[in-house]
C-alpha cells in the first residue's frame, strides 16, 4: 500500500474542496483557486474535514497514481493557503537581473540581454544589493508552475562546474571540478 496515498489531507479553515463528476478536484482558498483532473481509477472522497484517496487494485499503475494524486492535491491545498516562494541567485561577474512587471531582463554574460516573460499567475521580484549576488524571487500558488518557470530561468545559464558561475537556486550546492593540472 502506498504510504503517502494512505494519508488523508486535512482541509484547513477557509478552504473549500469540491469534486465534480468528471473527477476534477477544485480547491478554493484565500489566495485563489486551483483545479486538478484526477485519473478515473482513483476515487477521491471529502469527509469530515479530510480528503481521502482510494485505488481499486494493487496494480503497479494504480499504486503509482495513488500517491501521486494525493501529493498533487496536498500541494494545491498548501498553495491556496500559504503559497510558494522560489529564489534564484545569479553568480558571475556582470550578471544582472531587473524586472518590469512580469518581464525579466537578464544579463548573463551573453552578447545580448535575455528578455524572459513570466506567466501572469506568478509574481516576480528582483533584488540587487551591493556586495551580494542578484536575486530573483518567484511567488505564486501553483507549485508546478513555479518549479517549471524557475527551471527554465536556471536553464538559461546553468552553473558550470569549474568556477560555479551561472543561475542557481538559493541553497543549491554545485560540485566543483579540479582545473587543469599544472605542467611543470
To the question of domain 3-81 being in CATH 3.90.930.12, the answer is yes
Query: Can you give the pLDDT at residue 5?
Result: 86
The whole-angstrom separation of Cα 21 and Cα 25 is 10
Query: Can you give the pLDDT at residue 166?
Result: 94
The whole-angstrom separation of Cα 141 and Cα 147 is 11
The whole-angstrom separation of Cα 56 and Cα 52 is 13
The whole-angstrom separation of Cα 37 and Cα 43 is 12
The pTM (predicted TM-score) of the whole model is 0.88
Answer yes or no: are the C-beta atoms of 14 and 77 closer than 8 Å: no
* Mean pLDDT, 10 residues at a time, the chain of 184 residues: 82 93 93 94 92 92 92 95 95 93 93 95 93 94 96 95 93 89 68
60: helix, coil or strand? helix
Pick the CATH number of 84-169 from 1.10.530.10, 3.90.930.12, 3.40.50.2000, 1.10.10.10: 3.90.930.12
The whole-angstrom separation of Cα 68 and Cα 48 is 23
Answer yes or no: are the C-beta atoms of 55 and 62 closer than 8 Å: yes
- Radius of gyration, CA atoms only, the chain: 21
Query: Can you give the pLDDT at residue 161?
Result: 92
Helices and strands, counts by H and E, the chain: 3, 13
The whole-angstrom separation of Cα 107 and Cα 124 is 16
Query: Can you give the pLDDT at residue 180?
Result: 82
Q: What is the domain partition of the chain in residue ranges?
A: 3-81, 84-169
111: helix, coil or strand? coil
User: In Å, how far from its chain's centre is CA 76?
Assistant: 12
The whole-angstrom separation of Cα 167 and Cα 92 is 9
* Identical topology for domains 3-81 and 84-169: yes
119: helix, coil or strand? coil
Amino acid at each position: 500500500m502506498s504510504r503517502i496515498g494512505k494519508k488523508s489531507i486535512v482541509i484547513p479553515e477557509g478552504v473549500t474542496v469540491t469534486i465534480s463528476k468528471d473527477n476534477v478536484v477544485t480547491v478554493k482558498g484565500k489566495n485563489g483557486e486551483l483545479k486538478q483532473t484526477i485519473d478515473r481509477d482513483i476515487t477521491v472522497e471529502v469527509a469530515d474535514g479530510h480528503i481521502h484517496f482510494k485505488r481499486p487494485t494493487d496494480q503497479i499503475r494504480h499504486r503509482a497514481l495513488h500517491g501521486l494524486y494525493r501529493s498533487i492535491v496536498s500541494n494545491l491545498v498548501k498553495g491556496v493557503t500559504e503559497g510558494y516562494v522560489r529564489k534564484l541567485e545569479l553568480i558571475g561577474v556582470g550578471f544582472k537581473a531587473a524586472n518590469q512587471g512580469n518581464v525579466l531582463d537578464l544579463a548573463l554574460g551573453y552578447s545580448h540581454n535575455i528578455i524572459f516573460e513570466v506567466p501572469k499567475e506568478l509574481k516576480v521580484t528582483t533584488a540587487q544589493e551591493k556586495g551580494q549576488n542578484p536575486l530573483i524571487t518567484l511567488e505564486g500558488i501553483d507549485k508546478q508552475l513555479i518549479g517549471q518557470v524557475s527551471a527554465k530561468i536556471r536553464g538559461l545559464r546553468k552553473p558550470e562546474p569549474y568556477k560555479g558561475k551561472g543561475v542557481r537556486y538559493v541553497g543549491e550546492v554545485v560540485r566543483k571540478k579540479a582545473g587543469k593540472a599544472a605542467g611543470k
